[in-house]
Each structure stands twice: as C-alpha cells, then as structure tokens.
C-alpha cells in the first residue's frame, strides 16, 4: 500500500517561502503534483496555456498558495517569465497524439529545451517528466521525441532529475477510463497485437509524491528514474481486470499489428480518434521498468516509496461504469 497519505502531510523539513513552477499542472498528473506540492507547504505557480480552464486547482491549497498563469512552451519568452523567481521547476507538458501546433517536436523537444534553457539561465533546479519507452531509435515518433527532449534537458541542465513513468492510472486517467467507456457500448474490445504487450501501471499519487520528493532534493541529481507499479501485466490481463471491475462481459478480439495500423491510418485524422499509427507502433514494445533501473535503485523504491497495486485504486473510480453504479452487486 502506498504511503501517499502520510507522506503528503506537511511534515519533514519546512519549505519556507519556496516557489515551485509547474508547467502542465492542469493535466491528469499535474493536478496531483500541484496538490502534493501544496500539501508539502510550497507556493505553486502553475503555468498553462489556458488559465481560465484551470480554476479547479485553487482549492488544492490555501488561499493564495496556488497561482495559475499563462505560458506556452512554444514561446520561450513566456517560459522565461514563468520560471523567473522560482526555486524549482517541474515540467509535465506532453501530448499523446501529434497534430496541429501541438506536435511531438514542438512540445516534447522544443518545449522541453525552452524550459531547460530558462532553468539553466536562472540556475533553477529542474524535474522533467518523460516516459518509459523514450528511445532515440524507437519506431514511434512519441518515443523518439521523448528521448530527444531528455537529451535537450540534459544538455542544458545536467543535474536535472528525469522521471520515466509507465502507464499512469488514477481517477482521471485516459487508459482505464477510456476502455471502460468503450466497454459500455462496444460489442467487443480490441487487443492490438493479441494483447501480449506488457505494462507496469503506476498510480498517479505515487508519481506525484516521487516528483515532490525530487523537488525536496531527495532524488539523486542527474538521474533518470523509471517508475512502475508492483506488477507487470499484459494488455489482455489489464482489459480482463478492467472488465471485472465494471462487472461487464465483453469478448476480447485480437487484431494483428498490421491490420491495426491500417485501421488507425484511416481514422487517426478524426478529432479524438481512439488509436493512431504511432500508438500502434508503441504497442509493439513492452512498457516496463528495466532491470538496470531496479539494480541501481532508480525506481520508486529508490525514493522510499512503495508502489500501489491496481486492485487498491481501480474500484474507487471504475464503479461509475457499472450498470447500476455503486449499487451494482459485485461477485467476488
């Protein structure tokens, strides 16, 4: 069980008047990071493209503790203004699909570089969140751009702490919520490549606390941490677990990678498309913590955190997909 609750209490050393700027703080992971930092006692400056849509962050702290400002990682001047005066910076900005002005290169590479260079110029520590699968030779544009972003960060701020989480799950996730939503209406659920791809889902609260610990200075400078949950499961196993949690019976249909790629190429241009060719490419490789990271202590355990199991958290938010919601009788 995660020590999230006790660890988020404002204990340990006082942080005084320290200000932390969080880029991308209004996203799924961002809101949990902002809350963790606020509960630790930091003042938090949340840099987002649309401040008018981030008002929900204010109640996560005391009055005046959380400030939302406008910034766009594609414009270095706005990035510099957001970094100015901060004691630490956290970069959470990322996109799952590349398109329009929010391309992988613009966000994951140029954006990460702009933030890192601003931090270097002002001598501000940086915590950068990347992703497992970041690899300069990846067949996926997402994986390559994440690796290029990491390289840009290390070039500007060699002491930056980099986190690579696996699939992140929690109440607002786009993984289990998406497939549970599909299961309510679709006659069957697809298993790309047969569902054999392995994942190590990590709880969003654990990732948020890891980031907070890095801001505290508890992480080793210049280190890449790989964050995963306590178990490695195949995509098929994750879908079976999700279906049990929402008390639904749906067939799981295997779709070869080639056919999935063809289908994605025809639909990926539709806004909100459930699958892109790049995501199909990502599914061809396992998304788990490496043996090297475990041996070298570059994991949640290396930050004195015990990863939270899926079964502990999923029932707390997937119940809404059951036929009668929380009143559905669950067979054990």
- pLDDT, average across residues 115-142: 96
Cα separation, 185 vs 277, whole angstroms: 24
The answer to whether residues 148 and 109 touch, using CB atoms and an 8 Å cutoff, is yes
Measured in degrees and rounded to the nearest 5, phi and psi for residue 184 equal -70, -25
Higher pLDDT, 264 or 210: 210
The pLDDT, as a whole number, for residue 155 is 98
Q: Is the pLDDT of residue 11 over 50?
A: no
Assign 187 a pLDDT band (cuts: 50, 70, 90).
Answer: very high
The pLDDT, as a whole number, for residue 51 is 95
The answer to whether residues 157 and 90 touch, using CB atoms and an 8 Å cutoff, is no
The CATH superfamily holding the domain 4-169+201-230+287-308 is: NAD(P)-binding Rossmann-like Domain (3.40.50.720)
Predicted confidence (pLDDT) per residue in 68-124, tens digit: 999 999 999 999 999 999 999 999 999 988 878 889 999 999 999 999 999 999 999
pTM of the predicted protein model = 0.93
Which residue in the block uniquely carries the two structure tokens 């751009």? 145
Assign 332 a pLDDT band (cuts: 50, 70, 90).
Answer: low
The pLDDT, as a whole number, for residue 271 is 63
The answer to whether residues 166 and 151 touch, using CB atoms and an 8 Å cutoff, is no
- DSSP state, residue 109: I
The pLDDT, as a whole number, for residue 62 is 94
How far is the first Cα of the chain from the last one, in angstroms, to the nearest whole number?
21
Assign 50 a pLDDT band (cuts: 50, 70, 90).
Answer: very high
Residues whose CB is less than 8 angstroms from the CB of residue 100 and which lie 6 or more positions away in sequence, other chains included: none
- pLDDT, average across residues 126-153: 96
Where does 41-109 have alpha helices with state H? 76-83, 104
Predicted confidence (pLDDT) per residue in 276-312, tens digit: 889 899 999 999 999 999 999 999 999 999 999 999 9
HEC assignment per residue over 258-298: HHHHHHHHHHCCCCCCCCCHHHHHHCCCCECCCHHHHHCCC
Q: What is the dihedral of CA 181, 186, 189, 190, to 10 degrees?
A: -110
The pLDDT, as a whole number, for residue 326 is 82
Q: Is the pLDDT of residue 323 over 50?
A: yes
Q: Is the pLDDT of residue 266 over 90?
A: no
- DSSP state, residue 223: -
Cα separation, 81 vs 12, whole angstroms: 31
């Amino acid at each position: 069980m995660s020590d999230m609750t006790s660890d988020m209490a404002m204990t340990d050393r006082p942080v005084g008047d320290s200000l932390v700027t969080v880029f991308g703080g209004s996203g799924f992971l961002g809101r949990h990071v902002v809350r963790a930092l606020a509960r630790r006692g930091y003042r938090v400056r949340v840099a987002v493209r649309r401040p008018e849509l981030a008002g929900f962050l204010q109640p996560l702290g005391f009055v005046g503790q959380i400030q939302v400002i406008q910034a766009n990682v594609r414009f270095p001047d706005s990035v510099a203004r957001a970094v100015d005066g901060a004691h630490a910076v956290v970069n959470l900005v990322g996109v799952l699909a590349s398109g329009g002005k929010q391309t992988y290169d613009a966000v994951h590479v140029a954006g990460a570089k702009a933030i890192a260079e601003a931090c270097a110029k002002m001598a501000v520590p940086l915590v950068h969140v990347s992703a497992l699968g970041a690899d300069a030779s990846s067949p996926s544009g997402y994986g390559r751009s994440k690796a290029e972003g990491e390289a840009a960060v290390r070039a500007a701020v060699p002491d930056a702490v980099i986190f690579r989480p696996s699939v992140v799950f929690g109440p607002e996730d786009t993984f289990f919520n998406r497939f549970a939503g599909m299961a309510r209406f679709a006659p069957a659920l697809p298993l790309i490549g047969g569902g054999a791809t392995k994942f190590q889902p990590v709880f969003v609260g654990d990732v948020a606390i890891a980031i907070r610990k890095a801001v505290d200075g508890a992480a080793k400078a210049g280190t890449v941490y790989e964050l995963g949950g306590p178990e490695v499961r195949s995509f098929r196993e994750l879908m079976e677990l999700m279906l049990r949690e929402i008390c639904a019976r749906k067939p799981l249909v295997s779709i070869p990678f080639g056919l999935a790629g063809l289908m994605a190429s025809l639909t990926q241009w539709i806004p909100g498309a459930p699958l892109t060719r790049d995501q199909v490419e990502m599914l061809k490789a396992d998304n788990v913590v490496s043996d090297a990271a475990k041996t070298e202590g570059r994991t949640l355990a290396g930050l004195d955190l015990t990863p939270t199991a899926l079964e502990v958290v999923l029932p707390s938010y997937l119940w809404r997909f059951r036929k009668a919601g929380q009143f559905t009788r669950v067979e054990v």
